[in-house]
């Protein structure tokens, strides 16, 4: 009986160490992207930029996760989201960076990520990538198109 308990304790400690390693790896990845690398640190006035990110699982285009909000740097947000998508075996289907008069910028991205609806859902990782990339999420919506 004690061997069984030791095996369970050993398994739990292994799970905990794997979780710590995953968190450390994620923190290291997001430390690669620093706001100072994308923006002038002396910039006193910050003009926000809008973003609209639509994600599918690559197979079912009728189900989409849409994340809307604003950020300081569309370049940084784009890089962090793209890196996260590629790391999970996905691809950036479309990315458009628009600017009006140099004051108003907008990032529009469409990404395909395997296991977007899986367990655990990659949608949570995508949401974390947006926040880590300097994005402030205003709205998250799920779109389901029924034929």
The domains of the chain are located at 1-31, 46-144
Residue 6: Cβ-neighbour burial (10 angstroms; 0-12, 13-18, 19+): exposed
Distance linking the first and last C-alpha atoms of the chain? 56
Of the pLDDT bands very low, low, confident and very high (cuts 50, 70, 90), residue 42 is low
Q: Is the confidence at residue 24, as pLDDT, over 70?
A: no
Of the pLDDT bands very low, low, confident and very high (cuts 50, 70, 90), residue 45 is very low
Fold classification of 46-144 (topology level) = Alpha-Beta Plaits (3.30.70)
How much is the pTM?
0.70
Task: Using alpha carbons, select from 95, 85, 80, 90 the residue that is nearest to residue 130.
Answer: 80
Q: Percentage of the chain surpassing pLDDT 90?
A: 35
Q: What's the pLDDT at 59?
A: 87
Looking at the DSSP bridge assignments, the partners of residue 106 are 50, 98
Reading phi first (left if > 0) and then psi (alpha if -120 to 50, else beta), residue 51 is in: beta
pLDDT digits (tens, 9 = 90+) for 62-104: 889 999 999 888 888 999 999 999 999 999 999 999 887 666 8
Q: How far apart are CA 49 and CA 74, in angstroms?
A: 7
């Amino acid at each position: 009986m004690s061997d069984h308990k030791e095996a369970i304790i050993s398994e739990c400690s292994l799970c905990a160490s794997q979780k710590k390693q995953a968190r450390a790896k994620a923190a290291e990845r997001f430390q690669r992207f620093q706001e100072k690398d994308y923006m002038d640190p002396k910039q006193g006035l910050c003009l926000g930029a809008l973003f609209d990110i639509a994600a599918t699982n690559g197979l079912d285009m009728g189900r989409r996760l849409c994340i809307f909000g604003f950020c300081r740097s569309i370049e940084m947000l784009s890089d962090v989201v793209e890196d996260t998508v590629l790391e999970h075996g996905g691809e950036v289907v479309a990315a458009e960076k628009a600017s009006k008069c140099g004051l108003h910028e907008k990032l529009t991205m469409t990404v395909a990520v395997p296991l977007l609806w899986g367990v655990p859902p990659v949608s949570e990782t995508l949401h974390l990538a947006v926040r880590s990339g300097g994005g402030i999420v205003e709205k998250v919506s799920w779109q389901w198109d029924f034929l």
